[in-house]
Amino acid sequence: MSIVDKATVRQRIRDDRTWRRIVQLLVVALYAYGVFGGSYGFQATLTTVTFTAALAVAYSLVLGYLDVFNFAQHAVIGIAAYGFAITAVATGSVLFAVLVACVCAIAVLAAVAGLSARLTGFQLGLVTISVGTVFLTALTTFTDLTGGSSGIAGFPRWFEFSALETRAALLLGLGVLVGTGLLVKLIMSGRIGRLSVAIGDDEFLARVVGTNVVLVRVVVAVLCGVLTGSATAIWVQQQAVVVPTTYGLPMLIQIFLVLMVGGRRSIWGPVAASVVVVGVPGWIGGIDGNLLTILFALLVIVVVVRRPDGLFPEPLRDRRRSPLLLRRSRSSERPVIVGIEACRVRKTFGSVVALDEVSVAFEPGQITAIIGSNGSGKTTLLNCLNGIWQPGAGSIGLRWADGVDRPLRRARVHRLARHGLGRSFQVPRLAAGLSVRDNVGLAGDGWGHGANDARLQQTLERWDLTGWLERPVSVLPHGVRRWVELARLDLGGCRVLLLDEPAAGLTDDEVELLVEALLRWKADGCAIVLVEHNHDLVERVADHTVVMVGGRVVGVGALAELRDRGELGDVIGSGSRG
């Protein structure tokens, strides 16, 4: 990663803003011309641009925020369109048909979102491509229902525009686009926005801070389905006919292109991109459809490779306003884990025994250091305690604040986190698409014991992060990234902390800050598990030290005592100093 100084970053942010203003002005001017002065043809094309942009913005919820590539989005839109037309013809009720369109879109999107938890990116891509094929095959198979290649027309409509009422159609599209854009902005500017970005950028991080990833994905997919279904149902009424050729692969590529060029988490971007991708060829006219598809597909590749954030990305901003859904975390009502222990835990990977009958207890108000050479099983033990891996044999015991014995049968990562299990990583994990403030604030979404805005501000000041709030996290130096991670842990108010080499890569001054925090957490009664190679640090803060060799615990005690015992001295070595 290149090192970028503050001035460059500021300049870049400013440039982006100027660029955005210009784009916004051009789009507004275009629409003003379209509404007040454009020809019939111009207005008709601009209407298509507008509806495409609305569908792309709706799809950005899933593709942009959650990073779920649904290659069946053309089928989602198609199913909604056919669902609307068939229901409208059968029942005569437009309102009911709109509802059916929404339900159709929701069903497919929610299924894809649910599957995305179990499948890798490629597998999901393959399955969704196949879903698209199933849809297109269904259109040509059940011709009684779908009308085959001539499609369905003559359904009842709310909006019966004649061919010359292109201005009314354009205004209708504009209404849909503005509505979709505002709703997406509203949904994504609060808690659900922070969680979605965290999931999209680093799903594992989201789990560790206590996010129910599947739930958030499904909720966002349902919202996307509502927006996609209703926008489609309105567009179909404007078009007055549903034909299968509209909903093929070219539509998918077009929507991908609009989103990738415009910026996957942007609203103005896709509108501008839709003008270029849909509008310009329409106004020029007479371009071969296959040639366009080839150009568009190649353009998708260029954009993915060269500008993965798109040409008009939204500037980084805090997502702290008007949380529409999942307003607050109910974590303060949950029972809290205050201690954790491993009982005869065994973990193997193939023929490699990573942990062999490991038994250690971590008590409240104590710092327990785990030392050992690389590959001795330290991180594996942390991962088992954290619920990332289930032990092959043995068990993880939890101690609760109220003394009640409450065995968690399936100790999933996010559930443990919600009961106060905190974790930091060897390499700090931050969500690249969130601001520094939101990265710290993530703690309030999952862990969150009474994390409010005042405490967030306090925490940012305590960790000396207030000077970094304007910077994208991708350009932060290592020490600051570490502070962001530890500040998040601090704000989360976790009572059990699993810290994986927190001192790695820190300067001496920074280590002092870390020691201060460790002692403060200890005084607050936290049970701290400290995996560390820095033996000076261990000697200063640890109450006990656990020595691991080859997946087994070979010694427990104070580090100095352990070092004095001859047979352990070689194993421990002197570790790294500072």
C-alpha to C-alpha distance for 69 and 282, rounded to whole angstroms? 27
**Smallest separation (angstroms) from other proteins to the CB of 326:** 25
User: Helix crossing, 249-262 with 73-91: angle to 10°?
Assistant: 120
Q: Which ranges of 209-346 would DSSP assign to H, the alpha helix? A: 213-239, 249-262, 268-274, 280-284, 289-306
* Nearer Cβ to other proteins (29/291): 291
CA distances from residue 201 to 64, 197, 430, 529 in whole angstroms, order as listed: 10, 6, 9, 27
| Residue 13 within binding range of other proteins, rule CB under 8 A | no
What sign does the CA torsion over 165, 169, 170, 171 have?
Answer: positive
C-alpha to C-alpha distance for 489 and 421, rounded to whole angstroms? 10
Interacting positions 464-503 with other proteins (CB under 8 A): none
C-alpha to C-alpha distance for 68 and 61, rounded to whole angstroms? 9
Question: Using CB under 8 A, which of 2, 18, 162, 290 touches other proteins?
Answer: 290
**Smallest separation (angstroms) from other proteins to the CB of 353:** 11
**Smallest separation (angstroms) from other proteins to the CB of 73:** 12
Interacting positions 23-82 with other proteins (CB under 8 A): 67-69, 71
Question: Using CB under 8 A, which of 297, 324, 504, 556 touches other proteins?
Answer: 297
**Smallest separation (angstroms) from other proteins to the CB of 301:** 5
Site string for other proteins, 107-126 (x = CB under 8 A): --------x--xxxxxxxxx
Measured torsion, CA atoms of residues 495, 498, 501, 505, in degrees rounded to the nearest 10: -50
Q: Which ranges of 345-394 would DSSP assign to H, the alpha helix? A: 378-385
The DSSP code for 278 is I
| Residue 345 within binding range of other proteins, rule CB under 8 A | no
3-class DSSP state of 153: strand
| Residue 427 within binding range of other proteins, rule CB under 8 A | no
C-alpha to C-alpha distance for 21 and 24, rounded to whole angstroms? 5
| Residue 294 within binding range of other proteins, rule CB under 8 A | yes
**Smallest separation (angstroms) from other proteins to the CB of 118:** 6
| Residue 283 within binding range of other proteins, rule CB under 8 A | no
Q: Which two tokens stand for residue 559?
A: 């580090």
Site string for other proteins, 350-389 (x = CB under 8 A): x-x---------------------------x--x------
Question: Using CB under 8 A, which of 3, 163, 305, 560 touches other proteins?
Answer: 305
Site string for other proteins, 430-469 (x = CB under 8 A): --x-------------------------------------
* Nearer Cβ to other proteins (142/159): 142
**Smallest separation (angstroms) from other proteins to the CB of 304:** 5
| Residue 2 within binding range of other proteins, rule CB under 8 A | no
Residue environment code for 44-66, b if the CB has 16+ CB neighbours within 10 A, otherwise e: bbbbbbbbbbbbbbbbbbbbbbb
* Nearer Cβ to other proteins (345/537): 345
| Residue 141 within binding range of other proteins, rule CB under 8 A | yes
Question: Using CB under 8 A, which of 8, 91, 93, 137 touches other proteins?
Answer: 137
**Smallest separation (angstroms) from other proteins to the CB of 123:** 6
DSSP, residue by residue, 488-551: HHHHHT-SEEEEESTTTT--HHHHHHHHHHHHHHHHTT-EEEEE-SBHHHHHHH-SEEEEEETT
| Residue 90 within binding range of other proteins, rule CB under 8 A | no
| Residue 247 within binding range of other proteins, rule CB under 8 A | no
| Residue 8 within binding range of other proteins, rule CB under 8 A | no
* Nearer Cβ to other proteins (99/292): 292
Residue environment code for 136-174, b if the CB has 16+ CB neighbours within 10 A, otherwise e: bebbeeeeeebbeeebbeebebeeebeeebbbebbbbbb
* Nearer Cβ to other proteins (56/367): 56
**Smallest separation (angstroms) from other proteins to the CB of 426:** 12
3-class DSSP state of 250: helix
Which single residue is written with the structure tokens 């454009």?
38
Question: Using CB under 8 A, which of 41, 92, 156, 308 touches other proteins?
Answer: 308
**Smallest separation (angstroms) from other proteins to the CB of 466:** 27
| Residue 214 within binding range of other proteins, rule CB under 8 A | no
SS3 labels along 451-477? CCHHHHHHHHHHCCCHHHCCCCHHHCC
C-alpha to C-alpha distance for 152 and 131, rounded to whole angstroms? 22
| Residue 144 within binding range of other proteins, rule CB under 8 A | no
**Smallest separation (angstroms) from other proteins to the CB of 260:** 8
Cβ neighbours around 21 below 10 Å, total: 11
Please say whether the beta carbons of 406 and 338 come within 8 A.
no
Give the binding range for other proteins (CB under 8 A) out of 32-40, 147-155, 286-294, 457-465. Answer: 286-294
**Smallest separation (angstroms) from other proteins to the CB of 264:** 10
* Nearer Cβ to other proteins (170/198): 198
**Smallest separation (angstroms) from other proteins to the CB of 401:** 32
Question: Using CB under 8 A, which of 131, 172, 227, 233 touches other proteins?
Answer: 131
Q: Which ranges of 6-72 would DSSP assign to H, the alpha helix? A: 6-36, 40-60
* Nearer Cβ to other proteins (136/326): 136
Largest CA distance in the chain: 94
| Residue 96 within binding range of other proteins, rule CB under 8 A | no
Cβ neighbours around 372 below 10 Å, total: 23
**Backbone angles phi and psi of 547, in degrees to 5:** -105, 130
Question: Using CB under 8 A, which of 142, 158, 159, 283 touches other proteins?
Answer: 142
**Smallest separation (angstroms) from other proteins to the CB of 76:** 16
Which single residue is written with the structure tokens 């299968």?
244
Percent helix, percent strand, percent coil in the chain, to nearest 5: 60, 10, 30
Interface with other proteins (CB under 8 A): 67-69, 71, 115, 118-127, 129-131, 133-134, 137-138, 141-142, 249, 253, 256, 260, 288, 290-291, 293-294, 297-298, 300-301, 304-305, 308, 349-350, 352, 380, 383, 432
